[in-house]
Structure 1
Amino acid sequence: MGQMQFVASGLFGFFVTALLIAHLIPIARRVDLVDRPGGRKCHANPTPLIGGVAMFIGFALAVLTLEVPLSPFKALFAGAIVLVVVGVLDDHRDLSARSRFVAQIGAGLLMALWGGVLLADLGYLLSNQLWVLGLLAIPVTVFATVGVINATNMIDGLDGLAASLVLVTIGALMLVAWHGAATTELGILTVLAGVTLGFLVFNLRRRGPALVFMGDAGSMFLGFVLVWFLVAFTQGSDRLMAPTTALWLFALPLIDTFQVIIKRAAQGRSPFSADRAHCHHVLQDAGLSRRQTLAAMVGLALAAAAAGLAGHWLAVPEPWMLGGFLTFTAMIAVGLRHAPRLIPSRPRAFDLD
């Protein structure tokens, strides 16, 4: 199959997602599936939370147009359905954190036990010896699944940010799949890129606020699909990339979640309590506009993904890649700490975007 067919399927996913969002907006308002302003929220009007539903439906329909074997991905769709349903219920009724975690753990178990996408090893992290997980493979896989899903959810605090960072990871994974001749995976990732762009048309507008949000349904769906491929590409004797490369491709959400949890734990608070400790909050509070903050975050994500891909193709030893990632993480942490002094202050009244 030619790659142009993948592009056609991606475009189909884009238009289906966009059309669904346009038609679901009034329905969402009617059934009160909206995110209301208040508290720490920056939007001024109730905003429909139907981006995730539209992306999932667009993804499912567009994948069916691919002439590739889909049987190995039954668990991917099963886990995604569970997360989207629970996500919609949470967006509408505010489910407990326990309910969300149960759904995420269930999706991780489906991925590992049914889909066979399992973190059996962590690569050659510190030596020439492969770090085999053995009996820890399933719990570590579930932990990674829950971690990536929640990292995607927690970074969704600024118009266009979560979807843009997800697109960076998708693009990098597409390059890895293309270079490794993973045809089926490349087609599915192309469709995922298309539906994410279809959502961004309504979430990241040139003028005015977002018309829709992805909601928990969207962030959990995207996070699950990402972790599926991040794990699948790093395992087996014919792996497409090293596990350390996966860290670089999903760097910003991971680093943001890590530094937020560390800050909250140091203050004796729950890792999931509300505050303005996220990277995008710190940059905005330091004086950047929303657009500047988005550009800075996406720029860092692109730099990290480029470093990961360069290390992968140049066969840089995995311990060096791990050390580089930890150094990059420390640099961001130091930069955030000193952001108020590094970024020239400006009147908040002029933050019109």
Structure 2
Amino acid sequence: MDIQKELLLWVGAALVCAMVVSFIMCPLVKSFAYKIGAIDVPKDSRRMHKKPVPRLGGLAIFLGFMVSILLFVHIDHQMKGILLGAVIIVVLGVVDDMTPLRAKFKFLVQICAALVAVYHGVVIEILTNPNVFSDAPYWSLGWMKYPVTVLW
């Protein structure tokens, strides 16, 4: 089997795994949302639904993503940083779904999650130069790679 077919099968298996785990986790996460009170109650005209709806749907998708990543991807130092940052963001989302958090606090936690990834070596070092008339096709960010990565 050539490398392209093998890669396609590997990626397909990872996608199917993520989908199956997410599908299985949806009812479990739904009952968990009701249990912890992570429910969106329609109380104003901004809400589209008429009955209370459980939040946390992203948690089931995240669990499918994580299982698939852990089974099909080599976890190096940078990937650890990305996954740890993702876990921080998901925990923040779950807590926010249970008890609404202030925007400044959420932003601070998001910055911390990005810093975890940066600490593990995940940085944006170059950007494509948008000036098509320039001789330099890329911008090297130098020390700016850290704030650009965190804010990206």
Deviation at 1:117, TM superposition (A): 2.4
User: Partner of 2:59 in structure 1?
Assistant: 53
**1:64 aligned counterpart, secondary structure:** helix
2:125, 2:145 within 8 Å by CA — same for their partners in 1? yes
Greater share of residues in strand: 2
2:15, 2:68 within 8 Å by CA — same for their partners in 1? yes
User: Partner of 1:245 in structure 2?
Assistant: none
CA shift digits 1:255-286 (9 cap, x unpaired): xxxxxxxxxxxxxxxxxxxxxxxxxxxxxxxx
Paired residue for 1:32, among 34, 37, 41? 37
2:56, 2:97 within 8 Å by CA — same for their partners in 1? no
Q: Does 1:135 align with 2:143?
A: yes
Paired residue for 2:104, among 73, 78, 98? 98
1:21, 1:50 within 8 Å by CA — same for their partners in 2? no
CA shift digits 1:293-330 (9 cap, x unpaired): xxxxxxxxxxxxxxxxxxxxxxxxxxxxxxxxxxxxxx
Identity of aligned residues (%): 31
1:33, 1:91 within 8 Å by CA — same for their partners in 2? yes
State the one-letter code of the partner of 1:140.
Answer: V
1:83, 1:107 within 8 Å by CA — same for their partners in 2? yes
Runs (5+) with no aligned partner, structure 2: none
Paired residue for 2:85, among 79, 87, 91? 79
Deviation at 1:133, TM superposition (A): 2.0
Paired residue for 2:126, among 115, 118, 121? 121
Deviation at 1:138, TM superposition (A): 0.9
CA–CA distance in structure 2, aligned partners of residues 97 and 19 of structure 1: 32
Paired residue for 2:10, among 1, 5, 9? 5
CA–CA distance in structure 2, aligned partners of residues 63 and 137 of structure 1: 26
1:122, 1:133 within 8 Å by CA — same for their partners in 2? yes
Deviation at 1:107, TM superposition (A): 1.7
CA–CA distance in structure 1, aligned partners of residues 32 and 91 of structure 2: 17
Paired residue for 1:43, among 49, 60, 75? 49
Deviation at 1:38, TM superposition (A): 2.4
Alignment map for 1:1-353 (pairs within 5 Å): 2=6, 3-39=8-44, 40-66=46-72, 68-71=73-76, 72-114=78-120, 116-126=121-131, 127-129=134-136, 130-144=138-152
State the one-letter code of the partner of 2:41.
Answer: R
CA–CA distance in structure 2, aligned partners of residues 121 and 64 of structure 1: 29
Inter-CA distance 57–133: structure 2 relative to 1 (3 Å threshold): same
CA–CA distance in structure 2, aligned partners of residues 41 and 13 of structure 1: 30
1:125, 1:131 within 8 Å by CA — same for their partners in 2? no
User: Partner of 1:249 in structure 2?
Assistant: none
State the one-letter code of the partner of 1:136.
Answer: M
TM-score by length of 2: 0.84
Runs of 4+ in 1 over 6 A off after TM superposition: none
TM-score by length of 1: 0.38
Deviation at 1:88, TM superposition (A): 0.6
Deviation at 1:91, TM superposition (A): 0.8
State the one-letter code of the partner of 1:133.
Answer: L
Deviation at 1:135, TM superposition (A): 2.0
User: Partner of 1:188 in structure 2?
Assistant: none
1:124, 1:131 within 8 Å by CA — same for their partners in 2? yes
